[in-house]
Structures are given as structure tokens and as C-alpha cells.
């Protein structure tokens, strides 16, 4: 049993570092025993040991016992942090404000989501359209699904007349869904529950039924077994799920890992999008107005991301990055829809396009250095106006039905809590609809964008946010957060948790790393497969910038990221353990040789490649795989690995094996702990109570290991340990 000595009592206040002359009490962490079992894989003639393979069995008693023992040690450590409860109180207080979502119309009613403040799940309300919103009544309350809030609402879809609702639920954060069908007028469940649905929306055809996607139920563990053959079904109201019609995905030549089926707003076409990976898709349509019509191929390859976003009769409007890395919109007739017949509608620009439609117009949402800019076009491609936005930040929600005259969009940035605006589609005016009442003053903070150079000279943007007037003395506790993958863009957004971090004097920095989508397909591809090291180099360079500009130093820097961002943290801390004081990998992809053998992991190969591709790819993956690059005798930063026992996106075995490797090989006094949330998945639908507890522990662990004690807000007295 490995032991490590730790400082158990820190006598300094937040804002000053630990004095060497201070007397500290020492305590001992006894890490649980993690058995090593001889397991060896051979890749291209090279043997690779995997001693913790047994932790991949999420149903075994041995793994269950290991999880319990690790949590006992972790929470035993966290409970000794003297200001842990103060952090929780402040997070709880700031979290406790009313949060209301943008309204939307279905049938005779206007719906919106609302959370009173600390409800585990947001509640769906409604009122008669045209009536007083103050008369809104509860329509669907996910808090009633389970007392502790661990069953969440996973999606909603109304029939075309708004009288029937199909809604999905997630149990324990799992990606697997159950779908219930509700009479929206009487609030009564009208059918048996549909089960075993995954990575799927529900798209209605008229008022008769809906399309959805799922996999065959896997053999073995539903939380970790490989899912490889996605299929689209049609469920007709009043029939059993066993009678649902298989629409696409039934033959080996149609084998795809992700398939979606959606019906156009006018019910004319069924659109099928089929992918083998998270990037690139085939595209098909079926004319639903013609009985027994065949599926028509628009794209028979996966060399682009292409989606139908609108149609006027047989005229299709397609968003695509085929030959346009920053995306454009083209038009084509459904009678002859292949690329040689495409005509540019909104051409590609130097900025990445994300279009939507509302009220008979197109809204082109562009990213300009990760910040939103919106242009409005008519159906002839004529620019109507540049939409005046409330400020510099991120907007979302420029979408509505064709007959709508107004839409609602949200605006936020790192210091501005999300507010909702009502937009008049014809005259282009915005008015504030809902502004949250929160105990946070944006005027006390500043957020600025900088550009720094990565290792190979590439210019990378980063937004740094903190309280106004901080001293650039290298002693500010700083969280560097990153992702860098899967064409996902990190745009300015507001976080209650980060607000607490910053009000205590912390700096929050977010670089837009290669692998993301901030500058289109070229930026994404520059951080994939044999170029993945670019992402880690960009992140390391961001840390070095913060240190050189004296925002922080290695003694006060924490690196954080989740999922692909967890890989980012794992790779960075194993390559440059000297760079940071604290590492916070969350639900990370950490075993790069086996990630593709679990659930839908094989679909991530566009970004990563797999160890089975060829010798070069195997060696490249092994060269940065966090699980395989923990070295004996290295002093790694204080590390808190976080995951959920129901995570079937990135299975927790990644985190289990990484924590075991660190505990076995870590030298020095920095702790290596793993916090395993029960009845929790990859993050979506996590109850508010669990989220607050997790941030309490993340921030407490971070500050404690930097040698800080938290000052309470709005008082000069320090927290008594």
C-alpha cells in the first residue's frame, strides 16, 4: 500500500503564498491497493502491458470495491480542507437564482424552461399563446422522475399540431434513453415506453408518428460494450415498439456508427444523415409525399459535413464544408441533388458559418475569433441586415418556424450571465426579454482576448478573465481550461462556478486550440491524428504565456478539461509535469490504445486514429497516451481525476487506469486522487446538487494544493480553518 505525506493545515490566506517558516501538520494518505494482473497486448510486434485491464469490467465486485475504496480515501482527504463548506455555501448562494429558457410555441401553447435556483432539474412550463406569461403552469417536471434528480429530461419533440409530445429520459446520466409519449392536452401518458434508444432525436411526420435512432442492445455491459450499428426506425402512434419499421441501417453495406433521420418542416422529405465517425457524413432524402418512393443519394461519401437546413418545395438548401472549409450554403433541386448541380447561395467567407432559419429568413451566425456576428438574408440570398447584438460574446437561438414573426436568442460572455432577447424578424430590432437577477456584478470584472504563438509559430487566441485591478505578480491562482478536438468551438459563455472562482481572485483562461472548430475544417484537421501533438503544444504555450505575462506561475496554475479535454490535461501533465501545480482531468479519454473498443468510441477515429490502423499510428498514440506515459520517479502535479460510474460515452475505466498508474508511480508529496460520482454519466443532466458538490471539491482541492485559504466574499475576515 503506497503512502504519501501531505500538508493537512494551511495557515495562509487566499492572496498570499505559504511561508516556509510556517508550521504545518502532516498527515498520511494510504492509497487503496490496486492489483496488477499480467495482461499483454501485441501491436505490430511490440508487447504492451495493461496491468489494470480488470478495471474495465464495470459489473465486477472487484471494480465496485475499488471504486468504494478510492472514494473513501478521496472524500476523506477533501473533508479535511478547512474552507470546503464555505466554498459550498458560496457556490450554493450564487447558484440560487431563477433561470428561464427562451420561449417556444407548439400548438396553442408557449413553452419555456425554468429553474427556481437550486432545483436539480429545470421544469417545463406553458401558457396559452397570446396570454400572460405569469399564468404559466407546470407542464413537465423532471424533478418528479426521481427524488435525487438523477433521472433527467433528455429531449423533447412535439407533433406538428402540438397535441402530442415524445420526450426522452436519461437514467443516471447514461446516453441510453427511454422515450415516453404524452397527450399534451391532458398530460397523460398514452403509450408504452420505448426503450434502448441512443444518440437520437425524435422527428415527427405530421401527427402520425416519429423517427428515432438506436443500436441493437449490446451483449455484456450496456455501459461499456461496443455499439457499432446505428439504425433509424419509424414509430407509428398506437403501435408497439416491436412493430416499429426499420428505415435505414439494416445491411452490412449500410453499416454506420451514427445515423439520424429528420423530417422537413413541410413534411415533404425525410432526410437521412449517416456517419462512420464524428466528422463527415453521407446524405440521403426520401420524398414522403410519394408513396413507396426510394431513398435518393445526395452524397455517397463522408468527405464533408453536409446537412439540409431548409427546403422550399423541391429546392433544397444545404450547409456544407465540401470545398469550403469555413462552410457555405448551396441550393439544388431534389430531382437531381448531387454536388455537380450545386449552386452557391451564401458563399464561404473567412469566418466559420453556422446558419439557421426563422420567419422566412436565413440567419448566418459567424465566428470571428470565437465571437459571434450575425447576418440576416432573404430566400434570394440578399443581405437584409447585420444584426445588432447586445455586446461582444456568444449568441444562440436564431431559429424559429417559418410562420413566426419573432424569435428569442440568448447572449452571454465570460462576465455576462445569459440573458434572453426578443428579436423582431421583419424590422431587426431586439429588446431585452429576460435578464437574470444574480449576485454578480459584471462591471467588477474584465475579459480580454490575446493572441500568442504556439511551438510551431501558429497564432492562437485566448480569452483571459478576472477581477479588475489584479496584480500581475505571478501569484494569482489560475485555471487554464481547454478542449481542442472534434470541431468543437469554445466560445465565451457564463459559468456560475467560474464566477465564484473569479470573485475569490482567480484567473480563468480559455485558449482556442487547434482541433476545435473556431477557424473551420483546416483548424480542426490541424489537431487530429498524427497532428494531435499540436493541440498539446498549443495548450502548453498558453500556460507559458500566462506565466511569462505574470498572470500566474507554475506554483499557482491549474489545468482543466473534460472528455477530449481530459485527454488534453492527461497528455500535458505527463509531458510537462513541471508546468502546473494542479491537474484536473475530467471524464477523460486517457487510454489511447483501447478507447475504440468501448461503446461508440470507434467513431472518434477521425480525430485520433486507432492503434490498429498501422504501426506509425500505434506508435504515435502510445507516445502521448496518458495511461502509457506515467513514469516511475516523476513528481506529477497534485491531481484530482473526476468521472462518473454511469459514463457510457467515455467509460470510467480510462480514469480508473490513469489514477492507478499515477498512484503507483508518483513521487514527492503531491496527492493523486480520483473522485467517482455515483449515478452520474458524462455530464449532461447532472443534478444541480451534485454539480455544486463537484465544483466545491475541485476548487477546494485546487486552492488547498496551491497553499491558499479562501477569503469570504464581501468581508475582511478570513475563513477560520
Q: How would residue 20 be classed by pLDDT, with cut points 50, 70 and 90?
A: very low
- The mean pLDDT value for 110-125 works out to 94
Q: Is residue 456 part of a domain?
A: yes
The domain that contains 469 carries what CATH number?
3.40.50.1820
Whether residue 70 is found in the same domain as residue 120:
no
Whether residue 504 is found in the same domain as residue 576:
yes
Catalytic position from the list 230, 235, 596, 682: 682
> Distance between alpha carbon 529 and the CA centroid of its chain, in Å?
21
Domain end residue (candidates: 382, 413, 437)? 437
**Nearest-angstrom CA–CA distance, 649 and 630:** 24
Residue 440, SS3?
coil
Whether 321 has a pLDDT exceeding 60, the answer reads: yes
381-410 burial by CB neighbour count: b if 16+ within 10 A, else e? eeeeeebebeeebbbbbbbbeeeeebbbbb
The answer to whether the CB of 285 falls within 8 A of the CB of 296 is yes
pLDDT of residue 224: 60
Read off the pLDDT of residues 211-220 as tens digits, 9 standing for 90 and up.
999 988 777 6
pLDDT of residue 681: 59
The answer to whether the CB of 472 falls within 8 A of the CB of 459 is no
* Phi then psi dihedrals of residue 246, to 5 deg: -75, 120
Whether residue 420 is found in the same domain as residue 461:
no
Q: Is residue 52 part of a domain?
A: yes
Whether 197 has a pLDDT exceeding 60, the answer reads: yes
Q: How would residue 18 be classed by pLDDT, with cut points 50, 70 and 90?
A: very low
pLDDT of residue 639: 98
pLDDT of residue 699: 96
Read off the pLDDT of residues 679-721 as tens digits, 9 standing for 90 and up.
665 556 688 999 999 999 999 999 999 998 654 343 333 333 3
Whether 177 has a pLDDT exceeding 90, the answer reads: no
Residue 661, SS3?
helix
Q: Is residue 685 part of a domain?
A: yes
Lowest mean pLDDT among 153-167, 187-201, 428-442, 667-681: 667-681
pLDDT of residue 686: 80
Whether residue 498 is found in the same domain as residue 362:
no
Comparing 672 with 5, the larger pLDDT belongs to 672
pLDDT of residue 372: 97
* 230 among known catalytic residues: no
* Phi then psi dihedrals of residue 521, to 5 deg: -65, -35
Whether 659 has a pLDDT exceeding 80, the answer reads: yes
Whether residue 111 is found in the same domain as residue 84:
no
pLDDT of residue 222: 64
Read off the pLDDT of residues 443-498 as tens digits, 9 standing for 90 and up.
999 999 999 999 999 999 999 999 999 999 999 999 999 999 999 999 999 999 99
Cβ atoms within 10 Å, residue 481? 22
| Furthest-apart CA atoms within the chain: distance in Å | 84
Domain end residue (candidates: 437, 456, 488)? 437
Whether residue 616 is found in the same domain as residue 631:
yes
Q: How would residue 423 be classed by pLDDT, with cut points 50, 70 and 90?
A: very high
DSSP letter, residue 362: E
**Nearest-angstrom CA–CA distance, 681 and 649:** 8
Whether residue 503 is found in the same domain as residue 611:
yes
pLDDT of residue 173: 74
Whether residue 398 is found in the same domain as residue 474:
no
Q: Is residue 609 part of a domain?
A: yes
* 563 among known catalytic residues: yes
Q: Is residue 24 part of a domain?
A: no
The crossing angle, in degrees rounded to 10, of helices 84-95 and 496-503 is 130
Domain extent for 117: 100-142
The answer to whether the CB of 213 falls within 8 A of the CB of 228 is no
With pLDDT > 90 as the criterion, what percentage of the chain qualifies?
82
Domain end residue (candidates: 110, 125, 142)? 142
pLDDT of residue 602: 85
Whether 225 has a pLDDT exceeding 70, the answer reads: no
**Nearest-angstrom CA–CA distance, 283 and 267:** 18
Read off the pLDDT of residues 589-629 as tens digits, 9 standing for 90 and up.
999 999 999 888 888 999 999 999 999 999 999 999 999 99
pLDDT of residue 354: 96
pLDDT of residue 11: 26
Read off the pLDDT of residues 552-585 as tens digits, 9 standing for 90 and up.
999 999 999 999 999 999 999 999 999 999 999 9
- The mean pLDDT value for 156-180 works out to 91
Whether residue 671 is found in the same domain as residue 646:
yes
With pLDDT > 70 as the criterion, what percentage of the chain qualifies?
92
Strand partners, 4: 29
Compute the mean pLDDT over every residue in the chain, rounded to the nearest whole number.
Answer: 91
pLDDT of residue 4: 42
Q: Is residue 253 part of a domain?
A: no
Whether 3 has a pLDDT exceeding 50, the answer reads: no
Whether residue 677 is found in the same domain as residue 650:
yes
Read off the pLDDT of residues 47-58 as tens digits, 9 standing for 90 and up.
999 999 999 998
Whether residue 595 is found in the same domain as residue 665:
yes
Q: What is the tally of structural domains in the chain?
A: 3
Whether 250 has a pLDDT exceeding 70, the answer reads: no
Q: Is residue 168 part of a domain?
A: no
- The mean pLDDT value for 527-549 works out to 98
Catalytic position from the list 563, 625, 654, 655: 563
- The mean pLDDT value for 214-231 works out to 74
Whether residue 129 is found in the same domain as residue 53:
no
List the grid coordinates of 346.
451564401
Whether 61 has a pLDDT exceeding 50, the answer reads: yes
Q: Is residue 471 part of a domain?
A: yes
- The mean pLDDT value for 144-148 works out to 89
The answer to whether the CB of 276 falls within 8 A of the CB of 285 is no
pLDDT of residue 460: 98
Amino acid at each position: 500500500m503506497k503512502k504519501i505525506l501531505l500538508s493537512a493545515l494551511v495557515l495562509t490566506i487566499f492572496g498570499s503564498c505559504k511561508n516556509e517558516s510556517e508550521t504545518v501538520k502532516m498527515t498520511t494518505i494510504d492509497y487503496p491497493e490496486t492489483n496488477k494482473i499480467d495482461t499483454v497486448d501485441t501491436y505490430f510486434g511490440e508487447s504492451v502491458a495493461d496491468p489494470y485491464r480488470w478495471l474495465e469490467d464495470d459489473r465486477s465486485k472487484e471494480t465496485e470495491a475499488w471504486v468504494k475504496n478510492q472514494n473513501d480515501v478521496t472524500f476523506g482527504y477533501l473533508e479535511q480542507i478547512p474552507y470546503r463548506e464555505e466554498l459550498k455555501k458560496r457556490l450554493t448562494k450564487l447558484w440560487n437564482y431563477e433561470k428561464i429558457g427562451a420561449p417556444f410555441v407548439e400548438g396553442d401553447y408557449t413553452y419555456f424552461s425554468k429553474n427556481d435556483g437550486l432545483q436539480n432539474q429545470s421544469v417545463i412550463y406553458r401558457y396559452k399563446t397570446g396570454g400572460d406569461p405569469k399564468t404559466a403552469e407546470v407542464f413537465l417536471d423532471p424533478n418528479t422522475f426521481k427524488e435525487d434528480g438523477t433521472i433527467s429530461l433528455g429531449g423533447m419533440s412535439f407533433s406538428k399540431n402540438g397535441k402530442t409530445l415524445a420526450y426522452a429520459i436519461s437514467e443516471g446520466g447514461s446516453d441510453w434513453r427511454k422515450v415516453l409519449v404524452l397527450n399534451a392536452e391532458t398530460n397523460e401518458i398514452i403509450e408504452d415506453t420505448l426503450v434502448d434508444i441512443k444518440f437520437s432525436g425524435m422527428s415527427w411526420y405530421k401527427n402520425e408518428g416519429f423517427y428515432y435512432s438506436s443500436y441493437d442492445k449490446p451483449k455484456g455491459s450496456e455501459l461499456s460494450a461496443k455499439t457499432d450499428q446505428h439504425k433509424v426506425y419509424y414509430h407509428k402512434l398506437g403501435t408497439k415498439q416491436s412493430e416499429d419499421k426499420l428505415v435505414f441501417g439494416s445491411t452490412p453495406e449500410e453499416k454506420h456508427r451514427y445515423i439520424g433521420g429528420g423530417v422537413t418542416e413541410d413534411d415533404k422529405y425525410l432526410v437521412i444523415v449517416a456517419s462512420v465517425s464524428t466528422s463527415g457524413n453521407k446524405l440521403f432524402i426520401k420524398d414522403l409525399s410519394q408513396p413507396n418512393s426510394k431513398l435518393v443519394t445526395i452524397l455517397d461519401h463522408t468527405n464533408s459535413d453536409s446537412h439540409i437546413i431548409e427546403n422550399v418545395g423541391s429546392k433544397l438548401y444545404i450547409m456544407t464544408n465540401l470545398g469550403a472549409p469555413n462552410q457555405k450554403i448551396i441550393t439544388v433541386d431534389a430531382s437531381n441533388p448531387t454536388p455537380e448541380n450545386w449552386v452557391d447561395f451564401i458563399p464561404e467567407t473567412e469566418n466559420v458559418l453556422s446558419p439557421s432559419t426563422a420567419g422566412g429568413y436565413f440567419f448566418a451566425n459567424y465566428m470571428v475569433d470565437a465571437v459571434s456576428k450575425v447576418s440576416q438574408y432573404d430566400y434570394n440570398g440578399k443581405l437584409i441586415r447585420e444584426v445588432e447584438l447586445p455586446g461582444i460574446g456568444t449568441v444562440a437561438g436564431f431559429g424559429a418556424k417559418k410562420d413566426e414573426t419573432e424569435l428569442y436568442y440568448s447572449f452571454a460572455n465570460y462576465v455576462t450571465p445569459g440573458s434572453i432577447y426578443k428579436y423582431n424578424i421583419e424590422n431587426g430590432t431586439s429588446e431585452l426579454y429576460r435578464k437574470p437577477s444574480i449576485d454578480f456584478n459584471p462591471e467588477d470584472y474584465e475579459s480580454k482576448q490575446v493572441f500568442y504563438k504556439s511551438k510551431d509559430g501558429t497564432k492562437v487566441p485566448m480569452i483571459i478573465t478576472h477581477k479588475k485591478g489584479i496584480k500581475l505578480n505571478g501569484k494569482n491562482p489560475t485555471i487554464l481550461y481547454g478542449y481542442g478536438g472534434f470541431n468543437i468551438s469554445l466560445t465565451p459563455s457564463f459559468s456560475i462556478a467560474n464566477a465564484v472562482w473569479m470573485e475569490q481572485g482567480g484567473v480563468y483562461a480559455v485558449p482556442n486550440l487547434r482541433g476545435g472548430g473556431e477557424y473551420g475544417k483546416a483548424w480542426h484537421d490541424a489537431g487530429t491524428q498524427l497532428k494531435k501533438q499540436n493541440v498539446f503544444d498549443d495548450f502548453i504555450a498558453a500556460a507559458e504565456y500566462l506565466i511569462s505575462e505574470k498572470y500566474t506561475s507554475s506554483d499557482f496554475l491549474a489545468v482543466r478539461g473534460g472528455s477530449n479535454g481530459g485527454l488534453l490535461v492527461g497528455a500535458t501533465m505527463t509531458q510537462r509535469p513541471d508546468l502546473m501545480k494542479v491537474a484536473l482531468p475530467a471524464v477523460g479519454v486517457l487510454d489511447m490504445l483501447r478507447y475504440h473498443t468501448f461503446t461508440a468510441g470507434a467513431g472518434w477515429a477521425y480525430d485520433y486514429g486507432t492503434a490498429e490502423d498501422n504501426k506509425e499510428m500505434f506508435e504515435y498514440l502510445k507516445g502521448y497516451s496518458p495511461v502509457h506515459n506515467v513514469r516511475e520517479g516523476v513528481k506529477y502535479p497534485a491531481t484530482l481525476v473526476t468521472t462518473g460510474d454511469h459514463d457510457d460515452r467515455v467509460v470510467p475505466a480510462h480514469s480508473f487506469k490513469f489514477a492507478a498508474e499515477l498512484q503507483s508511480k508518483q513521487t514527492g508529496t503531491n496527492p493523486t486522487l480520483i473522485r467517482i460520482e455515483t449515478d452520474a454519466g458524462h455530464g449532461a443532466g447532472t443534478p444541480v446538487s451534485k454539480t455544486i458538490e463537484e465544483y466545491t471539491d475541485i476548487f477546494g482541492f485546487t486552492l488547498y494544493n496551491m497553499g491558499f485559504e479562501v477569503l469570504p466574499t464581501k468581508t475582511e475576515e478570513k475563513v477560520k480553518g
